[in-house]
Chains A and B, each alone.
Chain A
């Protein structure tokens, strides 16, 4: 109980200080308010998820083989407060034919599968708990998409990095070399997925030094991709949503092209998530835009 009062009191105190500050100055501009709000990380009673996206075909390719999907919902009321988000990035394999069909099929099929499972629990006021764990739903969705691709575009393949956010948990399903990162306000950029690429594997085994990896001729070869092979083992795991921080998912058209420090800066310094995404896409294009670029950024507030 004491903690609760602390919180209340603490909040009040801050509010008073702020109003005194403003007493003999002109009204603040929108940016100033934004700066104050973001600097003080105020306590929100309601938790909500916000997201932004960016995509570009890049400067050197004619075809966009990337696909993204971002869906954000917040449900709050007396029965609880449940942020819900589904974010997908799929990068169709360029070396193979019909990469754009594969990436498109991947995001649609995975979203369809997942939303069908959650629909009754999120919107039908079901009282019992969903029995199927999140990770099994993700696995089912990925395996289904794998089949769909094999049916609709055999021989093609795509990466897929999917994040399902429910409450404060992020469940990731990942195949290929698109990446999910956690970006922290202090500038840390933590990749949370592991590339299923030949270069990464050779690096791990010590057959390639990181510098050599940069210029390795078979950089694009994946050893795991949606649609490829008859047996698919995606990486699936659940981690806590960083708070404060951001979840970022992107294709290699971003992470392979823009330096980490520039990615961090773009994310942290932008006034909104949408602007951050825009800046990231621009940075990749300024650096030559050799590949399709896709990025999704999400933040959990409160």
Chain B
């Protein structure tokens, strides 16, 4: 499409007047073939009579196609002209100017149902939705009883239902409604997701409209848009599982409307209305304050195997080597505890908080401190092996690979230190503090920094490529077979090609994230400061589930067997089924958990800012 022909498609501007009569005010809807405008009818100069002007732009170059469009347009106009019902807008006029055709309808002051669903926080109340459903049955019944032939609306969905100021429903968009002659077949017309199976086969019957009404109400009550789900999958999204506030009675009626086999649905809209009226009577207005049945309860009673108290907060993550657990504390010490019973073994004092995660390798433990040093300490005795001066506070965790310790520092360098001697081999200059933990994959080291830059550096310290996020990358990368995943304070989870740094996709988290993602079975799991733990498909970036905690999730999730473990600033450690996000159990500590759990040999180790280290059965 060149720029040139876009003028032919442009929307009318406010101030434009059509056929010397309709003064366009603004666009109120955009559809497949043009816009819907609010306009003032100038034939009533002394009062403000508003109309809705629905435009159809016929820009098809092919004459046959053009002709078909004109026919459809005239059909909608003629059909509307013959219908008289409070839930159907009256048509006032229609005309064609060049390639644009217009229908002039009564203006409905209100909102369409899709906009209402989207603008509502949480679920719509049952009563309100029930009231709309009953009115929709009325208008469908009217259409289906039309003489000589029934009219099938064929496109029932939230955006084609307007709710006026009195709260009554009005059906708009008769573009594809069709009088129905029994036995005739057509092609699938309607909206994917809302249409029943038989409509895909070309059969449009009154009972197809009943299914679409069921789908519309299902969407309204669950907020799950059926257009992005496979067709006929409502049974996989039971109403009350998504929205427990819905009554069992209403669920049963909607399920009947959504039956796969048309024979099992209501036979007429009137019959469905009867059933809905029955629900309204039974549930009444008061019955609704039903506490959501919670499956949580006994799971709060998880007991730790042991706990150990430091003198200050534990903000970082622990690691286990040969039966010993190593963890840093804000009291400046690195602690060594017996992993089996939590008994104190030794502590190594530094001059600053130890907030990162120690790395254990070949009998030694490596860790950084806010005193600007990287330490290597004997894992058994706690004796110092060497220290390295990093020139800035160390909040990054060491990564060990190929005889090097890679570590970031607030002096804006990533340092590569010889693991035996503690001497600098090279350092790589970043544009800001490096708090992210280096990640090694296929002979490249990946690290992010506080300016939002993310680097791939080879083992000689030479930059291979650079990626830029809008804000800091504090979290560490992880990878699956094909991509590298990182989260950023810009609120995005990115998938990058590890070889060249091109972005494959990005997934919008609710807020900034400093949590490092984990990948299991092609599911990328990460926390964010909006309090959610997200699970996203590694190939398609589709959200698989999200789990809400009560506060920021700065902790990095860890997958173990079929669970994922993650802490939250709300003080809990959560254990979720990693495929579904279902809560298995949670364990409450006395203060925020900012570090990440470590799972080893069926035991989860987690530190809390309540100064304690806990060991729990995984």
Contact = CB atoms under 8 A, between A and B. Distances in A.
Contacts of B107: none
Nearest to B236: A205
Contacts of A201: 230-232
A148 B1 contact: yes
A235 B506 contact: no
Nearest to B482: A240
Interface residues of A, number: 54
Interface string B536-559: 010111000000000000000000
Given A80-B500, A132-B503, A229-B191, A221 B65 contact: no
Nearest to A207: B260
A154 B65 contact: yes
Contacts of B9: 151
Interface string B576-596: 000000000000000000000
A237 B539 contact: yes
B502 A151 contact: no
Contacts of B57: 151
B409 to A, nearest CB: 25
B231 A238 contact: no
Interface string A105-121: 00001001000000000
B192 A229 contact: yes
B540 A237 contact: yes
Interface in A217-235: 218, 221-224, 228-231, 233, 235
17 contacts: A98-B65, A129-B502, A133-B504, A133-B505, A134-B502, A134-B505, A135-B540, A151-B60, A152-B60, A154-B33, A155-B68, A156-B65, A166-B497, A168-B482, A198-B231, A230-B31, A238-B482
Nearest to A197: B200
A82 B500 CA distance: 9
B468 interface: yes
Given A80-B500, A134-B502, A223-B231, 18 more contacts: A97-B68, A129-B503, A133-B503, A134-B503, A150-B32, A151-B59, A152-B61, A153-B60, A154-B69, A169-B483, A169-B502, A198-B200, A218-B200, A231-B192, A235-B540, A236-B540, A237-B541, A238-B483
A129 B465 contact: yes
B274 to A, nearest CB: 29
A198 B231 CA distance: 9
Interface string A82-98: 10000000000001111
A239 interface: yes
A131 B231 CA distance: 34
Nearest to B188: A221
B302 to A, nearest CB: 38
B33 A221 contact: no
A238 B260 contact: no
B504 to A, nearest CB: 5
Contacts of A130: 502-503
Contacts of A202: 197
Given A97-B68, A223-B192, A238 B505 contact: yes
A212 interface: no
Given A135-B541, A154-B33, A202-B197, A97 B504 contact: no
A129 B231 contact: no
A135 B62 contact: no
B430 interface: no
Nearest to A168: B499
B465 A95 contact: no
